Amino acid sequence: MTICIAALTDTHHGEHIVGCCDWRIETYAVGAETELKFRWLPGSWCVMYAGDDISHAKELCGRYETFLRNHKKDITEDNLLEMLRIPPREMRHALADECTRKIMAVSYDVFLKKDSLGISDDLRRHVESEVEQQQVKAELIIMGLVEHHLFIASYAHGVVTLQDDFAAIGSGSYIANDMLYLRSQSRSASLAETIYTVFEAKCFSEAAPGVGRSTHMFVMSLNQLQDKAIFTLIREGEDFRCLSKQLKKFAPRRLKGVILPPSAEDIDIRIKESEPLSRRLPKADPSRELPLQASSARSGES
């Protein structure tokens, strides 16, 4: 898996989306930091992707690219969510179609006309079970511009959701979300705070399996005069050194010099003064027979 994070900031300085992802890609046996999980889409849109099956993620990105090329002008703020649900729905149908063609050499639409096939109930149930298991094994963060406003949407576990403040996907998303909530990240945060918070969440998510250390980070800004998005790359080198210095200053760290609260100061003393555990337990009586021993003795006498 991987980590992809996007956070929206909307202040008097304008609307911005801060995004980042790693470069890690893995198979069941080996991995390398060679895959940028970022892709441009038509109309000032872009997408970051993750998933157990990277081929599913890339295919779904391709379907979004084709869909936007044909329907970008039809998307409004009112129908945005429903329009974003169409490409995953079409891919799920394509996976079902591939499954039925593999088992029965017929399309999924033909299979739905069960009466005309004359197949047995057992075969029908088997095919239905196989189709049910055909899931889109991908997670996406979609960012774009609709009616003069930036938006963030996520696709995970078969559901498309519009996000108000931020989104995270991949194996490191649980840690990243925790850090973003810990920092109370919201669209009211400044651009500087948002850039740092996203960078911090990425760094801490590296503790999760499958998350790489290399980072791709960018800012997507709204140009209201031209009604388009402008992308600025946060570069390795001076930019990352600046963020790393702030990370050392602001990030959670190992505790030093912590003292006990007053009511807990004498806990160690009470433990030491208390009677040892061995003295509090009743001592075993060797002359006392256990029930199993007594029953065995009686059966031997008989």
Q: Which structural domains are found in the chain, ordered by start?
A: 4-84+138-250 (3.60.20.10)
Calculate what percentage of the chain has a pLDDT beyond 90. 66
Q: What is the mean predicted confidence (pLDDT) over 49-71?
A: 94
Closest by CA to 201, choosing from 1, 13, 11, 19, is: 19
Residue 75 has pLDDT above 80, yes or no: yes
Identify whether the C-beta of residue 28 lies closer than 8 Å to the C-beta of residue 60: no
Look up the pTM and report it: 0.83
For residue 126, pLDDT over 60 is answered with yes
Q: Which candidate, 16, 2, 91, places its Cα nearest to that of 51?
A: 2
> Residue 13 carries which DSSP code?
T
- On whether the CB atoms of residues 2 and 202 are closer than 8 A, the answer is no
Question: Residues 155-158: contacts with CB within 8 Å, 24+ apart?
Answer: 155/60, 155/84, 155/88, 158/88, 158/92
In the structure encoding, which two tokens stand for residue 236, read together? 């390795």
Beta strands in the chain (DSSP E): 4-11, 14-22, 24-26, 31-33, 38-41, 45-50, 139-146, 149-156, 159-163, 166-169, 215-223, 228-234
Q: Buried b vs exposed e over 172-190: b needs ≥16 C-beta within 10 Å?
A: bbebbbebbeebebbbebe
List the one residue out of 104, 106, 4, 86 whose CA is nearest residue 48. Answer: 4
Query: What pLDDT score does 182 carry?
Result: 96
Please give the Cα distance from 92 to 276 (Å, whole number).
65
Quick check: 249 pLDDT over 60? yes
Paired strand residues for 19:
6, 218
Q: Using the predicted structure, report yes or no on whether residue 268 has a pLDDT greater than 70.
A: no
Instruction: Please report how many Cα atoms fall inside a 13 Å half-sphere around the Cα of residue 117, on the Cβ side.
Output: 18
Upper half-sphere CA count for residue 264 (Cβ side, 13 Å) = 4
Express each pLDDT in 129-178 by its tens digit.
999 999 999 999 999 999 999 999 999 999 999 999 999 999 999 999 99
- Kindly indicate the confidence band of residue 79, based on its pLDDT and cuts at 50, 70 and 90: very high
Contact between residue 90 and residue 160 where contact means Cβ atoms under 8 Å apart: no
**Residues 80-105 pLDDT 10s:** 999 999 999 999 999 999 999 999 88
